[in-house]
Amino acid sequence: MIKLYWAPRTRSLRALWVLEEAGAPYERVRLDLSAGEQKSAEFRAINPMAKVPALTDGPLNVAESGAICAYVAEAYPDAELAPPIGDPARGRYLQWLFFSPGCIEPALLAKSANISVRPESAGFGDFDRVFDVLENALATGPWLLGERFSAADVMIGLDLHFGIDIFKLVPSRPALRAYVDRCLARPALQRAKAIEAAGV
């Protein structure tokens, strides 16, 4: 069985959401970050970066929230959270899965730290371009792959929720706002948020 190592108010919410979407049986192990439990030798054997989320599935260890989303989507194909290999939508799915850590997160970090980066020097290009691209992709929606919800929506949906609603760094454009609202309405995300709020 999957064992998820997590903590509230971290990227663990992505892992909770994707596991709830998949209907996967899993055990939660909450780490107390303020007590430094993530720095223990036992946990660093699972994730040497000493961060959450991380999961184990038998002898397998997976860290990084994007990798966890991809792993769960592949491990539970009946949930249809990833187009299978050979599906024409597979390439676009992978692009969006990597767009989150490769473009959105660095753009949000640069904006929050007021760092000016030349677009040709930054892997994410520039802040406005990142969200212009997302707005364009979501204009026909409802999901990044059209009618198909995927693990990529878990990654990007939470990025936009945090960017717009929590950190208030991303302007609430109509297409982005509507997409975030669709994500927040999903029962699996509501369950994940309830788990996070309860802290168990």
pLDDT of residue 189: 98
**CA dist., res. 183 & res. 187, Å (int):** 9
pLDDT of residue 1: 92
Is the torsion defined by CA of 191, 194, 196, 200 positive or negative?
Answer: negative
Q: What is the phi/psi pair of residue 2, to 5°? A: -70, 135
The CATH number that domain 2-80+188-198 falls under is 3.40.30.10
Domain boundaries, the chain: 2-80+188-198, 90-186
pLDDT of residue 119: 66
pLDDT of residue 74: 97
The structure tokens listed for 50 are 């000493």
E strands present in the chain: 2-6, 26-30, 54-57, 60-63
**CA dist., res. 199 & res. 193, Å (int):** 10
| Residue 176: half-sphere exposure toward Cβ, Cα within 13 Å | 21
pLDDT of residue 118: 72
The CATH number that domain 90-186 falls under is 1.20.1050.10
pLDDT of residue 124: 73
The structure tokens listed for 174 are 């109509």
The structure tokens listed for 160 are 């936009």
Contact 156, 97 (CB under 8 A): no
Q: Using one digit for the tens of pLDDT, what is the confidence trace for 88-130? A: 999 999 999 999 999 999 999 988 888 887 766 566 778 899 9
Which parts of the chain register pLDDT below 70? Answer: 119-123
Q: What contacts 186, CB < 8 A, 6 or more positions away?
A: 21, 149
CA distances from 28 to 32, 79, 136, 142 (A): 13, 20, 37, 31
pLDDT of residue 140: 87
pTM of the model: 0.95
Contact 105, 98 (CB under 8 A): no
